[in-house]
Amino acid sequence: MKILVAIPSYNCEGQISRVLAGFDQALLNRVEKVIVIDDRGKDNTAAVAQKTIDELKLAPKVEVVQNDRNLGLGGSHKMAFLYGERMGADYVAILHGDDQAKTQELNNLINVAEKDPSLGAILGCRFMKGSKLSGYSWERIWGNRAINVVYSVLAMRPSLDLGSGLNLFRLKDLADHAYLGYDDRMTFNIDLLLGYYSKKTPLVFYPISWSETDQVSNARNVTIGKIALRQLFRWRFGLSRPEHHEASEYTSSPYKAA
């Protein structure tokens, strides 16, 4: 099983070293490649990531790439899927660079995929039995739970998390490139989930740990919630019209220090 781990990062210079430090040799041995994707933020994420890679002697298995332009979280996912496809990977793992999810818990998702190769996605979940949340307000927890219930009812499939920062995707289920038409922004994961539901792709949610300490969220929760509900109702009633994008729009280059 050939796995690419992609770490989308936007203004994560304060956290990316902790994420990379979570890769011990045992985990590195289970994956083919790890790329830190710097999405052209305003800080020194790429330089800090490269310094950490050098200090921990993680190269050549771990490297930093920079998007050729700011692609957004969804765009970085698209770039990662295309990158994995080109290198012949079977799976792409997404691990956010802000250290809210825990690097070592990627092992759990890989274990599930190895046990059940029929699954198209193993989705890290913050809101199910066995999940551990730290620093997350009750308002946000119950707001997410409420939207998850609405999704579960209207999609007629258990929807326990609309998009955490730790997921594992089987690339053959994405070979049609339908995801290229999904939102380039924060709600890409919602489009992806609904796309899986439309195709009846087998998937499972798996409990993860999630903490907020020194991260600065790029999400606006009320706005994201409204968009999530609008996307659900448009999907449910067949009103979704994915945009047209070409694979060539989602490119990156190896990081080179200034």
Residue 65 has pLDDT above 70, yes or no: yes
Q: Which CATH architecture has domain 3-245?
A: Alpha-Beta Complex (3.90)
When the pLDDT of each residue in the chain is averaged and rounded to a whole number, the result is 94
Give residue 241's pLDDT. Answer: 76
The answer to whether residues 198 and 225 touch, using CB atoms and an 8 Å cutoff, is: no
d(CA 156, CA 116): 23
Residue 71 has pLDDT above 70, yes or no: yes
- Grouping H, G, I as helix, E, B as strand and the rest as coil, residue 252 is strand
Give residue 138's pLDDT. Answer: 85
| Cβ within 8 Å of residue 11, ≥6 positions away | 41, 42, 43, 45, 216, 218
Give residue 217's pLDDT. Answer: 58
Give residue 258's pLDDT. Answer: 66
d(CA 111, CA 119): 12
Higher pLDDT, 13 or 226: 13
**pLDDT tens profile 94-137:** 999 999 999 999 999 999 999 999 999 999 999 999 999 998 88
- Grouping H, G, I as helix, E, B as strand and the rest as coil, residue 209 is strand
Query: What's this model's pTM, rounded to 2 decimal places?
Result: 0.94
Joined together, the tokens standing for residue 83 give 């990158």
Give residue 223's pLDDT. Answer: 84
d(CA 96, CA 94): 6
Give residue 213's pLDDT. Answer: 78
d(CA 94, CA 74): 11
Residue 32 has pLDDT above 80, yes or no: yes
For the chain, where are the E strands, in sequence order?
A: 3-9, 33-38, 62-67, 91-95, 121-125, 132-134, 166-170, 203-207, 209-211, 252-254
